[in-house]
Structure formats: C-alpha cells, structure tokens
Amino acid sequence: MPQPAESAPATVLSKPTPIRTAAFGLGRLRRASRTERREWLLALILLTPALVMLGLFVAYPFVRGIWLGLLDSVVGREGQFVGLQNYAKLWNDSIFRRTAQNTFIYTGCATFLKLTLGMLVALMLNNLVGFKRILRASMLLPWIVPTVLSTLAWKWMLDPTFSIVNWILYQVGFIRLRVDWLGGPVMAMGSVILVNVWRGTPFFAITLLAGLQTISPDVYEAASIDGANAWQRFWKVTWPLLMPVTMVVVLFSVIQTFADFQLVYILTGGGPANSTHLFATYAYQIGVATGKLGEGAAASLAMFPVLFMVVLFQLWYIRRGEGGKGGA
Amino acid sequence: MAAVAGARWKRWVFLYLPLGAFVVVTLFPFYYMAVTSIRPDQEMYIPWNRPNFAPFWTLRPTLEHFALLFRETLFVRWLLNTLMISTLSTAIALFCGLLAAYALARLRFPMGGTLGSGIFVTYLVPQTLLFIPLGEVIRNFHLGDTPWALILTYPTFLIPFCTWLLMGYFRTIPRELEECAQIDGATRVQAMVRIIFPVAMPGILSAGIFAFTHAWNEFIYALVFLSSAQNKTIPVGVVSELVRGDTFFWGPLMAGALLGSVPVAFIYSFFVEQYVSAMTGAVKG
C-alpha cells in the first residue's frame, strides 16, 4: 500500500505552485529567461484585443451599473447619489416582489421540464437506428431561429380569438370552451413556461445525446448481465455517468432562463397587470420604457447575486472535475 | 416470431410515436408561420370555433403580406443591417477569440489560468444584466443609434464563447506540429499563423457559425441601443413596426418572421454538424 502515501505529498507539493506564481510574479519576471519573457509578451499582445473589448463593454458597464443603481438618474438628467434608496424602493414594490417570485418559478419549472423532456428525447434518439441526423437537425430549429420571431408565431397560435391551439384541443375533445392562454396571471405564466420549454428542450436533448454517445455500450451490457432492468440501468449507470454533462447544461440553462427577456416581452409584455414580469422585463419597463435609469439598473442588478452563485458553483464544479482528472 | 412482433410494437409505442409527436410539436409553429404568411386576411380572422375555420392550409394563397412587408416597411434595410452587423461582429469575435485562445491554450505566462476563468465568467454574463449601463456607455461614446453600437457590443458575448471553443480545439492539435515548424526556422508567430490556424479551420468554422446565429438572434441590445427605423435589425424592426399598440398585423408579422428565420436556418442546414459540435463543445468546455 505505498501508493496512496506517495501520491499524497505529491498533491501537497504541486498545489501551492500557482499561489507562488501569483505572489512572486515580479520576482519571476526578473529571473525569467529571454525566451520566457518573449513568450509572456506574445501572450499579452494576443490577449489584448479580447481583453480590451471585454473590459470596455462588459467590465466597465458592470461597474457603471453598480454606480448607476445608487443614483436617482432619469433620462436626460444627471442623477444624485441616493445610496440604497433604489433597492429599498424595489423591496417595497409589490410588482417587484411578484417579479422575483415569477423569475424563480419560471426558471425552476422550465428547467425541470426541459431536463426531463430533453433527457427522454435524448434517450429515444440514442436508441434510434435510422433518421438520427435528420431528426437532430430539424429538432434544433427552435434553438436556431430568433426567439422573438418564433415567439411571435406562438403569440399568434395562442391568440384569444383565433387560437389554433384551442381549435386543435377542441377538435380532439380536450376542451369545450375557449382557453384564454395569455389572459389570466396563472395561464399566462404557464404559457410563457410552455414556450420556453418548446424553445429550450432541443438544446438539452442534443447536448445530452452527445453525452450519451460517449458512454460505452459495454457498461450497459455489464449492467444487463448483472440483472439490472431498464429503469435501474438508467438511474444506476446512465444518470451518474452523464452527470457532468447534465450539470453544465442545467447551469447554462438556469442562467439563460433566469435572465430571459425576449420571450416574456413578446408573449405577455409582463402582463396581464404586471403579473408575468421577469427581472429583465421589469428592469426594461422601469429603466427604458419609463426612463428611470437608476431604478432600472438596480432592478436588473437584483439578478446578480443568484447569477453569481450559479457561476461560482459552475466554476467550482468544473475545477473539481479537472482536479479529479488530473489526480486520476 | 411473437417476440419479434412484441418488440416491434414496443418500439412503436416507446420510440417512434413519442419522437414523432415531439418533432411535430417542435416544427408546427414554423409550419403555421408559413401558412399564415400566405393566408388572405379575410380568411385569417375567422374565430377558431366557427365551422369554416380551416387552420392547416389555405385554398387561396396570397403574397399580399410579403408585398406589404417590402413596400411599406424597411424590411430589406433591416435584413441588410442584420446581415452586416452579424457578419462584422462575428469577424471581430473570431479575431479576438482566435488570438486569445491560442495564448491561453499554448503559451505559459503568469495569471494564465485566472484570465482563462475570467473570460469564461464573462461568457455567463447575460445581456439583460448590463443593457441599462451599457446603453449609457454607448451614448457616451456617441455610438447610440448607429450599427456600431451593436457591432462593438455583440462581440462581448461572442468572444468568450469563441475563445472557449477554440481553446478546446487548439488543445487537440499536437504541439509537435509547431515545434517542427520552429525547428525548420519559423518564428513562433509564423508557426501559429501558417501552421496552427489552418489546422484549426474546422474549429474556426464551428465557432463562426455559432457566433453568427447568436448575433442574428440578439434582441435586447438592438431594442435598446437603436431608435430610428432605418437602423433596426429584423427582430426589432418586425416587432416595433408591425405591432401598433394592441394591433398586431399578423400576416406581415408572420411573413417577416419567416423571412427573418430563413437565412439562419439556411446557413444552419449547411453546417449542422459544425453547429452541433460547437454547441456540445461549448458545454463540455
């Protein structure tokens, strides 16, 4: 058993190196050879365009947004510093509270449904022999086409008077009276989630399918020989092996769904009576439509804590995966 | 024999039928978009519960909606705007992403890992978090209501993706390839430009296709940063000019939606494999 004992100090030794690099960067620069320095210079030159773009149009506006959230700016007038007043105002705003609640419900329900459906479709596609490529290609259309444009088609399909969805459901015998898909708060929220699921499921299905295809059939064979049925094979073999892919897909989707704008903007415009707003659409309504820039910036920054935690979790998860690979 | 028949029956119930239903639901909105765009108005506005409501096809197809779209709106202009903005922002993103990815994947320098993570994190920053302060920044730079407002801001969500994807691609190219070139007397930069970039062409193509469709689909920046009708992109133009208050001009709207979707769908149909590999590659990191 000498192996674990040997590998443990190795990790201890290898771990502090990055910290030393960062702390003694200057020292290293002095000690660096000519070729090393040239490599650093080249790296700096190559990274400059990307860093300039991201600095100017992501980092700077972000800092500016934090500052703007502390001002009472209105379009056309310089703002005064008001501290956390914008946030206090939002906290006491019943529409904003509703908005926060909506965003969590929207993200939770839509992500759960997309994962479930996407997984089912991926498993089915993985078992399909022919037609796989053409199905995969046509399935991705909702993901390719501008969301605004496909959502317009949905809005037309869910129109209170001319709804084809109602017509189909009536013909099949599911409904007797018309359903007002976007009329009431609950139905409207449900419709918005439905369209999001329609748009996002292909992404889940295709990426999960790519993950499934990397799992060797031998593993299933071994599990079958051990007497596992399909249900057990999925939960004991597929699900754990697919976990890294699932995790990343879900986190990506959570971020996008949480920060969604287009779908709600087109389908309900946040209505009826401000009951289906998400953070982004409400921030737009305050900041752009009514021109209260400070308050609007604060409303959109309210998304930040959740997004930040998801990103941190994702970074941690990826790092952990890399560490695992490196150690193995 | 019975076992085979049983298996076939099972395949239909658990595989073909649900998959078929899924594909129908997935594609139906596009079909309906197309049918609506050629349906005459008097046929379109019949309530759904009337007996003569024939939703799936039309017997009197018309091009009047397309005619209205081209004659009374600036649709052609919007199409050209979208095309130009998407192409230029994709080009900028590819340029920045290619260089950055090479540095992060191939060169050793202090803080390399931190910078890599930093770029990855900006990939996850949604546009909706920044649109209000970014609008101010755009105005301060005097770019408001010009195509440059989008050409320069779209790369911010395209660069991280391109960098991330190309980094993965560069890592699969053996180091020996450029080492050989350097032994043969090429400089590092020459080896990069002449040897590595051409080998990475499939990766660059994937990243480009993906970036182009993303730029084509962007909405909120275009909505906030542009105001005059002749500067708009297709998604914003269609929504802002064909919806007047509560009145939706459904015929031209669907015609515009269809025509706005066709170019991306067309490009995509040629590069499905590249697109899928970009998408799954982006997720796997």
A-chain residues within 8 Å CB-CB of B222? none
What mean pLDDT do residues A12-20 have? 35
Q: Does B52 touch chain A (CB under 8 A)?
A: no
A-chain residues within 8 Å CB-CB of B89? none
pLDDT above 50: residue A22: no
What mean pLDDT do residues A30-34 have? 71
Task: Decide which of A246 and B124 is more confident.
Answer: A246
B-chain residues within 8 Å CB-CB of A54? 119, 122, 156, 159-160
Superfamily for the B72-284 domain:
MetI-like (1.10.3720.10)
Looking at CA atoms only, how far is residue B132 from chain A in angstroms? 6
Closest partner residue to A157 (CB to CB) among B32, B113, B284 is B32
A-chain residues within 8 Å CB-CB of B224? 284, 288
Closest partner residue to B239 (CB to CB) among A28, A68, A148 is A148
Closest residue in A to B216 (Cα) is A146
In which band, very low, low, confident or very high, does the pLDDT at A136 lie, cut at 50, 70 and 90?
confident
Closest partner residue to B29 (CB to CB) among A61, A153, A293 is A153
pLDDT above 70: residue B136: yes
Put simply, the answer to whether A148 touches B269 (Cβ < 8 Å) is: no
In which band, very low, low, confident or very high, does the pLDDT at B248 lie, cut at 50, 70 and 90?
confident
Closest partner residue to A259 (CB to CB) among B111, B128, B153 is B128
pLDDT at B135: 92
Mutate to test the interface with B, among A33, A135, A149 (most CBs of B within 10 A): A149
What mean pLDDT do residues A166-185 have? 86
pLDDT at A321: 65
What mean pLDDT do residues B100-118 have? 86
Q: Does B153 touch chain A (CB under 8 A)?
A: yes
Closest residue in A to B52 (Cα) is A167
Closest residue in B to A43 (Cα) is B103
Put simply, the answer to whether B30 touches A157 (Cβ < 8 Å) is: no
Query: pLDDT tens, B185-201?
Result: 888 888 888 888 898 89
Mutate to test the interface with B, among A46, A179, A229 (most CBs of B within 10 A): A46
What mean pLDDT do residues B233-250 have? 89
Q: Where do the domains of chain A lie, and which CATH numbers do they carry? A: 94-327 (1.10.3720.10)
Put simply, the answer to whether A145 touches B99 (Cβ < 8 Å) is: no
Q: What is the ipTM of this complex?
A: 0.90
Q: Which of A202, A256, A128, A304 is nearest to B30 (CA)?
A: A202
B-chain residues within 8 Å CB-CB of A29? 110
pLDDT above 70: residue A325: no
Beta carbon pairs, A and B, within 8 Å: 297
Per domain, the residue ranges of chain B are 2-62, 72-284
In which band, very low, low, confident or very high, does the pLDDT at A178 lie, cut at 50, 70 and 90?
confident
For the ranges A29-33, A293-297, B234-238, the lowest mean pLDDT is seen at A29-33
pLDDT above 80: residue B159: yes
pLDDT at A24: 45
